Amino acid sequence: MKKIFFLVLFSAFASAQKTQLIELRNSIKDRNHLAKSLTLIDLREDKNIGTVSHRKEPYELKFESEDLGKLFAEWFSADNKEQGSTEYFLMLEDLKAIDIPTERTVMAHLEMKMATFLKRNNKYYFLKKSKVSKDYEPKNHAYVTRVMAAGISAQIANIVKDSYDEKGLNVPISETELENYEKIISERLPAYSGSFTDGVYTDYKSFAEQKPDKELVVKKNTEGRIKGVKRTDGYDNFKRDIFAVVDNGIAYKRTPTTLIELEKDNEGYFITASAEEIFPPDNTLLIAGASNAGAIGGLVAAVIDITAAKIRRQNAKYYRIGIDALTGEYILPEGFSKSR
């Protein structure tokens, strides 16, 4: 009798457990026809994604096939009939979906982390990485599980497509080093292993590899203070973004409003800044002439003064804002809020 009871109970649970498939339908077509293949590297310790609820019913999230290697390879092949010679790799580091109880209901939560690489001469080169931490509240979604599954598929497709256009950091690593790629690559980057080279850096890649732009120089006043940047031919009427400038061995990170000195601790590089300096309210910059998009012409017209920049707003709240070692993106701390 007991066996029959547990069998019935198990059957009831099994029937209640529904499945939400993650369908890889988004396009990952390489329009330049340089990609040869896409290989999945699944580093997740637990291959189960998790279960989330829709209208109090549990749904287990799963990919369409348990053979993920074959699934991803076929997805790439279907979208890329004309192929090149570059081998791409997608590393899946984390993918978890859970229910979080709230006061009145449950909220679905997604954690996701992945990175892409290309392979050349039997070495791997980092391209991009993506980390997602997102809540899905039932009141905002008619069908939470479907929205989450579609979001996972879209995130994967986006990083793959974006990777086709990435030049990547010029730091080769071996296959055995992939699991610890962030630490190994950052330690080998010139910006992290030696002194800075004076000059102007138009993007993070050039800064990380310490290769300043040969057409741009730091612009100073007669007292030797930084006032902006200019072209080597003397003309200032141009528009180009910059990531940072280095003067006398000191690096300054450009923000939409000013230049802030880069500092370093055991966690890496960071700046100390307020939300208003990183995300100016209403897209109105504190320095006249600078554009919110980061056009370098704004730096010239604005006449940035490093000394003046140190006189910070007394009523602002300042944070340690990290700089991602592989992408140069901001790592915002808890409690940080963008100005609106």
| Domain extents in the chain | 14-177, 189-331
The letter for the amino acid at 290 is A
Contact 155, 299 (CB under 8 A): no
Q: Where are the beta strands (DSSP E) in 43-160?
A: 50-54, 57-63, 86-101, 106-120, 123-136
* pLDDT of 10: 44
Predicted confidence band of residue 104 (pLDDT cuts 50, 70, 90): confident
Residue 239's pLDDT is what? 53
pLDDT band at 270; cut points 50, 70, 90 = very high
Give the pLDDT confidence score for residue 6 in this predicted structure.
Answer: 46
Assign 116 to helix, strand or coil.
strand
| Phi, psi at 121, each rounded to 5° | 55, 40
Least confident of 57-66, 150-159, 216-225: 216-225
Per CATH, the number for 14-177 is 3.30.160
pLDDT band at 166 (very low <50, low <70, confident <90, very high): very high
Q: What was the pLDDT predicted at 316?
A: 72
Q: Say what the pLDDT of residue 229 is.
A: 87
Q: Quick one: average pLDDT of 168-194?
A: 95
Residue partners of 296: CB distance under 8 A and separation at least 6: 202, 216, 229, 238, 239, 240, 241, 242
Predicted local confidence at residue 286, as pLDDT: 37
Which tokens is 10 given? 């198990």
Integer Cα distance of 49 and 200 in angstroms: 44
Determine the pLDDT at residue 285: 40
The amino acid that residue 128 corresponds to is K
Tokens at 246, concatenated: 């280095």
Per-residue pLDDT at 220: 86
Measured between alpha carbons, how far is 313 from 340 in angstroms, rounded to an integer? 18
pLDDT band at 236 (very low <50, low <70, confident <90, very high): low
Quote the DSSP letter at residue 238: -
Q: What is the dihedral of CA 146, 151, 152, 158, to 10 degrees?
A: 150
- Rounded CA gap, 302 and 288, in Å? 6
With 0-12 / 13-18 / 19 or more C-beta atoms within 10 angstroms meaning exposed / middle / buried, residue 174 is exposed
Q: Residue 199: which pLDDT band, with cuts at 50, 70 and 90?
A: very high
Q: Are 153 and 22 in contact (CB under 8 A)?
A: yes
Most confident of 20-34, 239-253, 273-287: 20-34
Query: 186: helix, coil or strand?
Result: helix
Which residue, chain included where needed, has tokens 């039932």? 138
Contact 134, 144 (CB under 8 A): no
Cα dihedral 74/76/82/86 (nearest 10): -120
Query: Using DSSP, how many helices (H) and how many strands (E) does the chain show?
Result: 9, 17
19-23, 198-202, 222-226: least confident range: 222-226
d(CA 210, CA 195): 9
Question: Would you place residue 257 in the very low, low, confident or very high pLDDT band (cuts 50, 70, 90)?
Answer: confident
Going by C-alpha positions, the residue among 35, 325, 64, 331 that lies closest to residue 160 is 35
* Selected residue with higher pLDDT from 108 and 315: 108
